[in-house]
Amino acid sequence: MISRFEHLIEKSFLAAALWSMALTILIFVFMLILGLPLFREGRFFSLLFTPWIPGEEQFGIYPMIMGTAAISVLSLCFGAPLAIGVSVFISVLQPGRLGRWLKKVVVLMTGVPTVVYAFVGIFLLVPLVQSFFTAGSGMNILTASLVLALLIAPTMILIFSGSFENVPISYCNAADALGSSAVQKFVYVILPYSWRGIITGLILGAARAVGDTLVALMLAGNAVAVPGSVFDSARTLTAHIALVTAADFDSIEFRTIFAGGILLYLITLIMVLTVRFLSSLKKEASP
Amino acid sequence: MLPKKFRLLLFVQFIALTLLLTVVNVNAQALDVFKGEKGEIMISGGTAHIPVMKDAARNIMSINPNIRISIAGGGSGVGIKQVGEGLVNIGNTGRTPTNEEVAKYGLKMFKWAIDGVGVIVHKKNPVKSLKKIDLIKIYSGEIVNWKQLGGPNRPINVYTRDEASGTREVFWEKGLGKKTITLKANVVVSNGAMKSAVANDPNGIGYVSVGHMDDSISPVTLDGVNPTIKTVKDGSYKISRGLYSNTKGDPTGLTKKFIDYLFSPEGQKIVVENGFIAVK
Amino acid sequence: MNRLGEISVTFFSWLCALSLVAALGTVFVFLLFKGLGGMNLQTIFGDTNAWDALTLRKAVFNGLFPAIVGTILLVIISVVMALPVGLAAGIYLAEYGTGRAKNIFSLFCDILAGVPSILVGLFGFSLSIFLHKYISQNIYPCLLISAASLSFLVLPYLIRTTQIALEQIPSEDRLTALALGAGRLQNIFYVLIPRALSGIVSGVILSIGRCAEDTAVIMLTGVVAMAGLPQSMLAKYEALPFFIYYISSQYTDMQELQMGYAAAIILVGICAVLFVAAFFIKNRLVERMLFRI
């Protein structure tokens, strides 16, 4: 007894869902198609390991892969402990007014535009790093990682907090009843229970770090050499795509961007699948 | 009869007034062609050209708000590709398009200014003069510390431009003799960016369009020659290049009028005001 | 765990909290300190009279006005493009999806949400080249392409917030209308969506914020350094985040840098207003619904 019109509307709902699914696939397929010449010549895998010297016809993205790895790992090293510390504060030590207020501040931080963080980084942090360390121009892996850590921390904090607060109240009550302090409760009850949430948060933070363009573009110096130290200038895959797309779109040089794009897409895909897998693991009922 | 001096003064004033009216008339004429037109001009490419493009666009758009001129940067390589593919009407380059590029896209080139590419360092850097052989060694990574050049004991931070840059191309060809640029160099994306980078880095060295130089940085004397408009003009400073606007095929309509405007006295005045050398 | 361990954990936690607040505070104070002085009509309208600029009689050349307008237009067009699709897909996932299909759709949604924004921009750029070559010579990277790409970027957020908002409606509310004989579609449009409106609207507002701040996507799909106000959807345009990016490396004098700081303050201001609005709407609407019952 559903009219034709209503049927049409329901079909359009399905169409919308299918379109968003198709879009996800389409983005990947476009990159594959446009990067096809790379596969045909069997160059794709060699691109992952050679340097970028266009003057000598070398279009490898190896230095950029190293740059992405270096900046992402370092920003996680700064950001993850910060995030854990803050989420412990919010959920365990000060769950009252102070914690709620801090949580609001963290939520506010997720709304600050990336470009503004990077902008402040250029004019505040770069001169500091430059004068403090005197090696290099101040635009290097260290500066970029510090700002990137500030960028990914709020996301991680919210996920960590969420998983800490999801521990069954009975567990927490049991710990309190046995006379444990907040820290003991955290270390012995909450932390073991929420390991899944912590790993999820770390992975999503890493995904955000790997996928960010602007912080690295504005702060890491964009040199095409494989970085040797945290004070070296480096270029990430994302910044590389931004820089080269501005330059070209028909040559083999441009097509190597798609190699980088495909790599980034696959990395993101693996991270999303891992997070999904983690959340699907049955929760153990162990003490 | 008026006293002699007074008559002379009157005569001079008369001549000056006539001249002034003629000049004003000519100026008005240069922009007059844009009256009553409608349409869009899209420009991209060399970053050295941008100040001139902006001034010209401002004049034209003020007199006729129906004309839209959009200006993007990207470097000479971008200019050529985009105009060749029909994505913009005018592609600016800071180097002569190669024969392959001209043949592939059917480009028509218009050189409306002469510029040079000079080496720059931070204002506080005591090293203000270099031999070309040292410059090559700095950029190839052989010389890594300012003390090797008589300066302070500080590492040299090399800045270079991205691959699409015509400024880079000219510098590499004429300044470095096509020797390699170290992979460790920091990459900046425009003349303006190069200027701010070196202005903010006491240990930095870079290269920039002579027209862009100002007192935020110090130019470096190369083999005894200072990079100034004068030395570029008389040929004593060797690293020079033309500023080109290129179109795909012969320019027509609004695009042709814009390019003619660049060659007009008023356009050439804008060129000189921005620190370049006029061609007319 | 001994006392020392406990004290160090507590200390570390407080340290982190304080550092975070200090870092955020430094960012804001620095921006305000450097930029507030430059916030005047001249920064926004340049040398043009404000009234002439607002009534579109004269163009603004060295002010932020075209960038502000560009950002606003961009946001409106991309949300208009993304909203129907996001809403429809969210409704499908919440109301019609079966377990297996729901899982798969939801997976794709998560993947799309995780794709780096530069890749979405690359997709938009490739799309525009493709259209330029095969459909019409008049299509270049432009406002329309940027808005479309941004709509791809925020689609997963809209879908997810709609889905969650609808799923959170308690089953009693869900079944009442159906029990009285209403059709499925009638239930959705007359009962469920009004109930879920606060969640949906806050999702829309967050998407607006995302569109306003994104730089990577628009960099590749049509934003330029100077273009004035866009005349049509197929025109190039300016935007605030791109202005901030490009002025940060290419400022030629202190005045331009001041404009950069002012632009940053305006952008943060816009995002902050949107955020607070989302928060209030979420609460106010909930109150209104409750009082209507």
CB B263 within 8 A of CB B251: no
d(CA A161, CA A87): 5
Please report whether residue B227 resides in a domain. Answer: yes
Interchain pair B58, C236: CB under 8 A: no
- Determine the pLDDT at residue B2: 44
Report the interhelical angle of A4-34 vs A252-280 (nearest 10°): 130
Chain C residues touching B71 at Cβ < 8 A: 224-227
Pair B213, B140 in one domain: yes
- Is residue C61 within 8 angstroms of chain B, CB to CB? yes
Q: Any chain C CB within 8 A of the CB of B71?
A: yes
Q: Are B233 and B246 contained in the same domain?
A: no
**Nearest Cα residue in chain A from B72:** A246
Of residues B182, B255, B161, B82, the one with CA closest to residue A243: B161
Q: How buried is residue C27: exposed, middle or buried, by Cβ count under 10 Å (0-12/13-18/19+)?
A: buried
- Residue B161 bridge partners (DSSP): B188
Chain B's closest residue to C66, CA to CA, is B70
List the 39-78 stretch of A: residues with Cβ below 8 A of C: none
The model's pLDDT over C84-142, given as tens digits with 9 standing for 90+, comes to 999 999 988 888 878 888 888 889 999 999 999 999 999 998 888 888 888 877 777 88
Residues 163-222 of C with CB under 8 A from B: none
Q: How far is A55 from chain C (nearest CA, A)?
A: 24
Q: Which of C227, C246, C252 sits opposite B70 (nearest CB)?
A: C227
**Banded model confidence at residue C285, pLDDT cuts 50, 70, 90:** low
At residue A260, φ and ψ (nearest 5 deg) are: -65, -40
Q: Is residue B220 part of a domain?
A: yes
Domain limits for position B80: 39-114+242-278
Q: How many residues does chain B have?
A: 280
Chain C residues with beta carbon closer than 8 angstroms to that of A150: 23
**A55–B81 C-beta distance less than 8 A:** no
Residues B204 and B262 both lie in one domain: no
Chain A, nearest residue to B164 by Cα: A247
* Chain C: closest CA distance from residue B69 (Å): 6
Q: Which of B67, B29, B46 lies closest to B264 in space, CA to CA?
A: B29
Q: Which helix (H) or strand (E) holds C42?
A: helix C41-45
Separation in Å, CA of C90 to nearest CA in chain A = 8
Q: How far apart are the first and last CA of chain A?
A: 54
- Alpha carbon distance B197, B188 (integer Å): 8
Which residue reads 């995002």 in tokens?
Answer: C271
Distance from CA of C75 to the nearest CA of B (A): 21
| Whether B120 and B220 share a structural domain | yes
Domain co-membership, B119 together with B229: yes
pLDDT of residue A249: 60
Find the mean pLDDT for residues B224-252.
89
Residue C81: the pLDDT is: 92
**Residue A246 contacts B, CB cutoff 8 Å:** yes
Number of domains chain B is built from: 2
Chain C residue with Cα closest to B47: C250
CA–CA distances in Å: residue A63 to residues A69, A264, B183: 10, 14, 10
Regarding whether B127 and B109 lie in a shared domain, the answer is: no
- Kindly state which CATH superfamily the domain A45-280 is placed in: MetI-like (1.10.3720.10)
- Would you say residue B22 lies in a domain? no
Tell which of B70, B196, B198, B213 to mutate to test the C interface (max C CBs under 10 Å). Answer: B70
Answer yes or no: is B9 within a domain: no
Hey, are the CB atoms on A120 and C31 less than 8 Å from each other?
Answer: yes
pLDDT above 70 (res B5): no
**pLDDT value at position A46?**
75
Q: Are A215 and B174 in contact (CB under 8 A)?
A: no
Predicted confidence at residue C24, as pLDDT, reads: 93
- The answer to whether A223 and A242 have CB atoms below 8 angstroms apart is no
CB contact under 8 A, A114 and C17: no
Tell me how far apart the alpha carbons of residues A215 and A232 are, in angstroms, rounded to a whole number: 16
* Whether residue B122 sits in one domain with residue B236: yes
Pair B247, B141 in one domain:
no
Please indicate, yes or no, if residue C20 is contained in any of the structural domains: no
- pLDDT band for B14, please (50, 70, 90 cuts): low
Return the SS3 of C25: helix
pLDDT higher at A78 or B196: A78
**pLDDT 10s digit of each residue in chain A, 287 long?**
567 888 888 888 889 989 999 999 999 998 888 877 777 666 777 777 888 877 677 778 888 999 999 999 999 999 999 999 999 998 877 778 888 889 888 988 888 999 999 999 988 888 888 888 766 677 889 999 999 999 999 999 999 988 888 888 888 888 888 888 888 888 888 888 888 889 989 999 999 999 999 999 999 888 888 888 888 888 999 999 888 876 666 666 777 788 889 999 999 999 999 988 888 875 554 44
Give the pLDDT of residue A287.
42
Give the residue extent of every domain in chain A: 4-34, 45-280
Q: What is the pLDDT of residues C205-220, one digit of tens each?
A: 888 888 998 899 998 8
Helix (H, G, I), strand (E, B) or coil at B243: strand
What are the chain B neighbours of A55 within 8 Å (beta carbons)? Answer: 180
pLDDT for B25 beyond 60: no
- Picking from B47, C216, C246, C247, the residue whose alpha carbon sits closest to that of residue A241 is C216
Q: Which residue blocks in B165-264 are alpha helix, DSSP H? A: 166-170, 191-199, 229-233, 253-263
DSSP state letter for B183: T
Structural domain includes residue B108? yes
Alpha-carbon distance of B143 to C103, in angstroms, equals: 60
Strands (DSSP E) along A40-84, which ranges? Answer: 52-53, 58-59
CB interface of A with C, residues 108-167, below 8 Å: 108-109, 111-120, 122-124, 150, 153
* DSSP-H helix ranges across A186-251: 191-193, 195-211, 214-219, 237-245
Contacts of A143 in chain B (CB under 8 A): none
Check pLDDT > 70 for residue B17.
no
Q: What is the pLDDT of residue C254?
A: 78
Q: Does C138 touch chain B (CB under 8 A)?
A: no
Where are any strands of DSSP class E within B46-192?
67-74, 90-93, 107-121, 129-130, 157-161, 186-188
Among candidates B273, B154, B266, B255, which has minimal Cα distance to B205? B154
Count of residues in chain A: 287
pLDDT per position as a tens digit, C61-84: 778 888 998 898 899 999 999 999
C216: CATH:
1.10.3720.10
Residues B159 and B179 in one domain: yes
Rg of chain B over all Cα atoms, to the nearest angstrom: 22
List the alpha helices (DSSP H) in A89-140.
97-110, 114-120, 126-133
- Contact yes or no for B15/B135 (Cβ under 8 A): no
Residue in A with minimal Cα distance to C243: A115
Q: pLDDT tens digits, residue range C218-265? A: 988 888 888 878 877 788 889 999 999 988 877 777 788 888 899 999
Instruction: Find how far residue C210's CA is from the centre of its chain.
Output: 2
- The boundaries of the domain holding residue C156 are 39-292
Q: How many structural domains does chain C have? A: 1
Quick one: pLDDT band at residue B218, thresholds 50, 70, 90?
Answer: very high
Strands B186-188 and B107-121: unpaired
Please report the pLDDT score of residue A151 as a whole number.
93
- Report CB contact under 8 Å: C250, B42: no
**Residue C293 pLDDT greater than 50, yes or no:** no
- Residue A139 near chain B (CB below 8 Å): yes
Based on the domain organization, do B80 and B100 belong to the same domain?
yes
The DSSP symbol for B211 reads G
- Do B150 and B165 belong together in one domain? yes
A90 contacts A161 by C-beta, under 8 angstroms: yes
Q: Do A24 and C115 touch (CB under 8 A)?
A: yes
Q: Which residue of C has its CA nearest to A31?
A: C123
Please report whether residue B58 resides in a domain.
Answer: yes
pLDDT of residue C227: 80
From chain C, the residues in CB contact with B70 under 8 A are 224, 226-228, 235-236
Instruction: With CB atoms and an 8 Å threshold, state whether A223 touches B186.
Output: yes
Q: Do A248 and B77 touch (CB under 8 A)?
A: yes
Size of interface A-C (CB pairs under 8 A): 243
Name the residue in chain A with its Cα closest to that of B185: A223
In angstroms, the Cα distances linking A40 to A32, A35, A44, C190 are: 11, 9, 9, 55
B51 and B124: one domain? no
Digit-coded pLDDT (tens) for C147-183: 999 999 999 989 988 988 888 888 888 888 888 888 8
Give yes or no for residue B3 having a pLDDT over 90: no
Distance CA(A203)–CA(B42), nearest Å, equals: 43
Q: Which are the contacts of B200, defined by CB distance < 8 A and separation ≥ 6?
A: A126, A127, A138
CA triple B223-B225-B231, angle to 5 deg? 145
